[in-house]
Amino acid sequence: MFRKILFLIPFLIFASECNAQKFRTALDYMNFISRQQVLIVKSSWRYTQAIAHSKDDRTIDKKRAILIRSIDRAIMKITKAQGFEGDTEYKEKVLRNLEINKSLLLEDYAEIIDMQAVAEQSYDAMEAYILAQELADQKMAEAQQEYEENFYAYAKKHDIEVFEGQSELGEKMEISNKVFDYHNDLYLIFFKVHFNEGNLLDAIKEKDISAIRQNINALKMAVQEGLKEVDKKPLYKKDDRIAEATKEVFQIHLDEANNKIPQILDYLVLQEDFEKIQAAIEKTPESDRTKEQIDSYNEKVDVLNEKRELINKLIDKLFKERNKKLERLDKANAKFLDKHVPKYSI
């Protein structure tokens, strides 16, 4: 599951700080509101860090819960605070914005977690899952943009000069979003091919010869298209580890379709023919069975046993090579995120 959470805010540098909840100036009030927002941004960063650097779902869920609690605390503090000179318009807009963020985390992101459970059942489901993440992130960004617009409007109303500066944390969050975008794009290309391979393996499991033939061709086409898409995708920071590992998996799948699976298909056709001969003999009384029938049957048994041994070795080799490349891709994904999603202690 490759999620990101989007909080793009310019960190705002003020001339003074105020810890009280009664405000002498509009600037004090703006500083108070801004501090609550920055705390939420920091919690969102911890959530992003957990996604990038942890494989423990419990850790990720814990960070999400902390983020929701951060929003709850901000809502509580802002609600209790008096607006400057009785003006509650800005306060109400900020609270509405925070409620939107909380709703996204409780509903949209919760739905995304539910979608994760079925995402691998089809390419369309995986595409919908990743799109849902992107839409939720977009809503979060739009909510943040609304917050900033309200902020600047309030500053202008009270003749407050705002000095903008991009903090180290803000820069790192923007970098993280770009890293996840690239990562998710490559994963979707991979999944489309890998899902086709899964359909082929299912057909083999069911011994469905017609479906095997169809899925061999579908896999070849998916690999060829996937290789082109990977090559067209600009590398992130010239880091080709995911792209190269993905192409290696595709080459294994192509070898399956061109060389390995046709041998398995031949064996299944042979087995199907044998079963027909066997059924015909079993229907024939022993006294009526001809020497040619028996010889043909015994010959097929010998050939089938020999082929079975070869196919078992082929399958064993195929899955060892396949799983080795998939493991390499998993490691490439993990190393890519670990390298490019910045680490920042807050």
Predicted confidence (pLDDT) at residue 235 exceeds the cutoff of 90: yes
pLDDT digits over 128-154, tens only?
877 777 777 677 667 777 877 888 888
pLDDT in tens, 307-324: 898 999 999 999 999 999
pLDDT at 109: 66
Q: Tell whether the model's pLDDT for residue 166 goes beyond 60.
A: no
Q: Is 70 exceeded by the pLDDT of residue 8?
A: no
Q: 178-206 pLDDT, tens per residue?
A: 888 899 899 999 999 999 999 999 999 99
- pLDDT tens-digit series, residues 29-51: 888 888 887 777 767 766 666 66
Mean pLDDT for the stretch of residues 220-248:
96
pLDDT higher for 38 or 10? 38
Prediction pTM value:
0.70
Helix (H) or strand (E) holding 165: strand 163-165
Residue-wise pLDDT for 108-119, tens only, equals 666 766 776 667
Mean pLDDT of the chain: 81
Long-range contacts of 17-25 (CB under 8 A, 24+ apart): 21/77, 21/80, 21/81, 21/82, 22/82, 23/81, 23/82, 23/84, 25/84
Above 80 in pLDDT, residue 333?
A: yes
Point out the least confidently predicted range of 56-65, 184-193, 254-263, 326-335: 56-65
